[in-house]
Structure 1
Amino acid sequence: MSDWTSTAIALLEADANRSADTHLHLFPLPPEWGIDLYLKDESVHPTGSLKHRLARSLILYGLVNGRIREDTTLVESSSGSTAVSEAYFARMLGLPFITVVPRSTVQEKIDLIEFYGGTCHFVDRAEDMSPEAQRLASDCTGHYLDQFTFAERATDWRGNNNIAESIFRQMEREPHPVPAWMVMSAGTGGTSATLGRYLRYKRHATRLCVADVEHSAFFDGYRTADAECRCERASQIEGVGRPRVEPSFVPGVIDRMVRVPDAASIAAMNVLSRRLGRRVGGSTGTNFFALCWLAAEMKASGRQGSLVTLICDSGERYLKTYYDPAWLAEKGLDPAPYESLVEAVLAGGSFELPLEEA
């Protein structure tokens, strides 16, 4: 191993040591329900999202496999948050960074990528991202980080303070320390793979529910056991949903999947933001909607326990999209009916909406 590689790994480890563990918030529900909701707040990472963990792991994976050297250009295909975090680490290591992004990516994320020294290369269609990133990496003799392939193997799912281990450590003194359910939406599929593998490895009774969005191939791929499923339209909820079933998506660790309408994701995002007193992103809304669905199901059956999901990133990145009424109208999204549903569930009502589940 070269001196440069040794120094690079040490820099990444030092960043991890400086980053305190993210908070686990208790979301208040009536005590008589005996149901506790928890939100693991990944938005407090230095680069503002869950993808900070993934970016560090992907770059470490490239370093220890000898694919990243001191003159290597890092290349990625990313809708935004992963690229923001990778640009941060690339700058830390003094490496050039290029990411392929859809033209529809919000400007706030583009600005952050460029703030950290990254370069954005735009494509018109989400399905063109990976082939274009491969071409760019080949042309510059760089390293394609390829989050959609390597997310599930770059993270140590056995422990090493991965997100699952962190949650269980923080839950130790709670009334129901072993959650009934963990809920996670799928972008690469890497986080759901880490959660599901850890649950099985530690033999926890916790089950994993993956919430997918409209215009995503994951749900149909899981339901039909077809890894070749495709979806022609792009997801409107950034960071989750994919036009194909990505290699990092591991269906065997999932106990249940549910498809959440895009307007419902925005609605749950709005409700949660009001309850927290700060804005969260759209994928967090997807998670929270599924969490409320499961909580209502548990309450209806008289079952007590805890449920956990993630705050994936801050809503400040989406002021011109999800929080903009004109943008919602343009996209044909009306969150109001779903907001009423979520508020009713949190007030003790039933979940009066059939959802596609598998």
Structure 2
Amino acid sequence: MTDMCCEHHFELPTTAADREWTRRALNILQGDGHRSADTHLVKPIFPGLKNISVYLKDESTHPTGSLKHRLARSLFLYGICNGKIGPGTTLVEASSGSTAVSEAYFANLLNLPFIAVMPRSTSPQKIEAIERFGGKCHFVDHAGDVYSVAQKLATEAGGHYLDQFTNAERATDWRGNNNIAQSVFEQMQYEGYPVPDWVVMSAGTGGTSATIGRFIRYKNLETRLAVVDVEGSAFYDAWASGDMETTAPGSRIEGIGRPRVEPSFVPGVIDHMIRVPDAASIAAAHVLSDRLFRRVGGSTGTNFFGLLCIASEMMRQGKNGSLVSLICDSGDRYSATYYNPKWIEEQKLDIIPWRQRIEAFIDQGIPLESSK
């Protein structure tokens, strides 16, 4: 009898060398994960916030200095495990900076070419960091062009478009696996108010808010999720109207706020949204930097101001509890913008009144809405 199996010839879809590269790459990424898996949960003291504890998850301490380190590692794992990334694959990303810095770091670890497509207005410090890790920067004049240009470059190179804006919520396991939500709630378990009343955070890709919102529901927690959005961003209007085709001009606050509603934005897991003026975001970043004795970025300022809005309302209602937000990245990357008086003046932003309101609230408990 003829062995029919012997008559069927086929070629393996990947070579042994490719599989060996994949194994080495996964070991490298998992090693980084073990080394930088957790970050500090900082508890600053604000005397004006009676019976409300504030916690800030400090993502700036990752090896690449931002919250996006977690996302970049997840995107690389997602691409490799789906067979999209292999030896020599050219990687391309659309990014306003921090994600690209982290991806350039991982591309360098794996010896893969990397191209970041970004607006020309991206901070010089981020551009320098990308290039230091061996990445290349491709600039566009309009923020809305980053998507199509990144896809075009990846196609021309026969490479892989990492596409953080689509894949962020897909690449992260929201049920656990040491994601940021699991880390926060484990670190809170011995605090006075171990289950936060609110987690407050901004949206860039939408992936982190989706992860946190899903985790809260999966664990059946009483915590609510508030997402803060900035001027020139489409997220708030889309959430309020339900129109996911909403567009906007784009944001001055790097890393958050988008001209379109990104595929990773999941409005159904958000309990409340707040729109924060850019002047308030920058003023809040300055105030928090003074209290932490180190600079934080503009997106952290947005997070902090949104948290204070929630705290002010809780105090008005006589509620006690805890609030959690994120330190997204270091303010050292923004010395030419948010911490440059000339840039602030050129942008026609007056941060002094906002700063006074914030300081009156956190020091004396004067409600934000009463200190105009």
Compute the TM-score of the two structures, normalised by the length of structure 2: 0.93
Q: Which amino acid aligns with 2:261?
A: V
1:297 counterpart SS class: helix
Structure 1: segments with no counterpart, 5+ residues: none
Q: How far, CA to CA, are the matches of 1:295 and 1:313 in structure 2?
A: 23
Q: How far, CA to CA, are the matches of 2:228 and 2:53 in structure 1?
A: 19
| Count of aligned pairs | 353
Deviation at 1:29, TM superposition (A): 2.9
Q: Which amino acid aligns with 1:39?
A: L
Structure-2 change in CA distance of 1:353 and 1:224 (3 Å): farther
- Percent identical residues: 63
Which residue is 1:345 aligned to?
361
Which residue is 1:280 aligned to?
296
* Per-residue deviation, residues 164-199 of structure 1 (Å, max 9, x unmatched): 000011001100000000001000000000000000
Do the aligned partners of 1:260 and 1:289 also contact (CA within 8 Å) in 2? Answer: yes
Which residue is 1:130 aligned to?
147
Q: How far, CA to CA, are the matches of 2:348 and 2:330 in structure 1?
A: 23
Q: How far, CA to CA, are the matches of 2:168 and 2:221 in structure 1?
A: 23
Which residue of the other structure, out of 15, 19, 26, is the alignment partner of 2:36? 19
Q: Which amino acid aligns with 2:118?
A: V
Q: How far, CA to CA, are the matches of 2:223 and 2:46 in structure 1?
A: 20
Do the aligned partners of 1:75 and 1:133 also contact (CA within 8 Å) in 2? Answer: yes
Which residue of the other structure, out of 164, 167, 179, is the alignment partner of 2:196? 179
The equivalences for 1:1-358 within 5 A come to: 2-30=19-47, 33-231=50-248, 233-346=249-362, 347-352=364-369
Do the aligned partners of 1:186 and 1:241 also contact (CA within 8 Å) in 2? Answer: yes
Do the aligned partners of 2:300 and 2:329 also contact (CA within 8 Å) in 1? Answer: yes
Structure 2: segments with no counterpart, 5+ residues: 1-13
Q: How far, CA to CA, are the matches of 1:187 and 1:32 in structure 2?
A: 28
Q: How far, CA to CA, are the matches of 2:30 and 2:172 in structure 1?
A: 14
Asked which structure has the greater CA Rg, the reply is 2
Deviation at 1:32, TM superposition (A): 8.1
Q: How far, CA to CA, are the matches of 2:152 and 2:49 in structure 1?
A: 58
1:33 counterpart SS class: coil
Do the aligned partners of 2:48 and 2:366 also contact (CA within 8 Å) in 1? Answer: no
Do the aligned partners of 1:265 and 1:285 also contact (CA within 8 Å) in 2? Answer: yes
* Per-residue deviation, residues 80-129 of structure 1 (Å, max 9, x unmatched): 00000000000000100001010000110000000000000000000000
2:229 counterpart SS class: strand
* Structure 1 moving runs of 4+ over 6 Å: none
Q: How far, CA to CA, are the matches of 1:139 and 1:114 in structure 2?
A: 21
Q: Which amino acid aligns with 2:255?
A: G
Do the aligned partners of 2:48 and 2:365 also contact (CA within 8 Å) in 1? Answer: no
Computed over aligned residues only, the root mean square deviation of the Cα atoms, in angstroms, reads 1.2
Do the aligned partners of 1:29 and 1:35 also contact (CA within 8 Å) in 2? Answer: no
Deviation at 1:234, TM superposition (A): 2.4
